[in-house]
Amino acid sequence: MLLLQLQAVQSADGLLQAGGETLVYKVTYQGLLSAFLPVEIAQTTLRLHPGVETVAGEQLRHASLRVTTEPFPRMESFYPFRFDYHSWFDPRLSYTAVVDMRKRTSDSRHELLWFNRREGEVRRYRKEQQTEGADSLVLPDFVRQVIRLQQTAGFRERGVFRLTESNVLDRLTMLYAVRHRPLQTGGSIELAVSNGKDLLGYNIAIEAKEKLIIDGRPIAAFRLRFSPNFVSAGDRGYAVRVWLSDDERRLPIRFHSRNLGGVIELELTTAE
């Protein structure tokens, strides 16, 4: 079934045209916490929303990522998890404008990133519980509008990260940007990327061409290694490998990383 869907998507118009795209992945963990047995723990949906949205007078594209343990009752009883990530970015994939991140486990966290290109900085905000007499930082009106926030929602600035150039991406937009770059085995791509804290950029190495077996059929793919360049903090040995289909669509078929004492993999199950 997935192979047929892949073939259908490959013949569609360009990714950043008016149409959208929805990719669904199963998330598997294998390591210390699972007695080294592979266990499905979550579902991830990666979506490019159709059309453009107006943000501060600009026409931007909107992509989102959702991770949930809801389809897995055992995981829900052990560690219920929800993560929603939204990015608004230039259709030419040259810069990000706004990022909205919401995570819910036993507690909740809601953060916003504003990529202020005019001032050469990323401003990071976090939602805080309103208390009587406490002043909340006023967000730029366009940020509230694009995120569809209520005027009473209280956010405070948590940090300002200086940028060395105006065209900077967030990590989700980076994936779309790489999908639109020419790929050659042995080559590499350098992109300016920020998470609003300490990331300066990413090096993406095109390691090899491989055959992945999808629904019992081989699919040609490029294996890429995404390595972050940290300013000061972070695990400098951390990397994520991504397999992109070797066709004009460059679909992300598989993700692989080491975390939580084991291996976490995302594998594409549905492409629409």
pLDDT at position 252: 98
Q: What is the pTM of this model?
A: 0.88
| 176 backbone dihedrals φ, ψ, rounded to 5° | -65, -35
Residue-level pLDDT, tens digit, the chain, 272 residues: 554 455 444 433 444 666 899 999 999 999 988 888 999 999 999 999 999 998 888 899 999 999 999 999 989 998 899 999 999 999 999 999 999 999 998 888 999 999 999 899 999 988 887 654 445 566 777 777 777 665 556 788 888 988 888 899 999 999 999 999 999 999 999 999 998 887 778 999 999 999 998 878 899 999 999 999 876 655 667 899 999 999 989 999 999 999 878 999 999 999 99
3-class SS at 262? strand
* Counted domains in the chain: 1
**Cβ distance 228 to 255 under 8 Å?**
no
Cα 95–97–101 angle (5° rounding)? 115
pLDDT at position 184: 96
Domain that holds residue 128: 2-271
Which residue's entry shows tokens 């600009």? 58
**What Cα–Cα distance (Å) separates residue 113 from each residue in 116, 197, 234, 244, 266?**
9, 10, 19, 28, 26
Task: Single out the residue of 104, 70, 66, 109 nearest to residue 86, CA to CA.
Answer: 66
pLDDT at position 200: 79
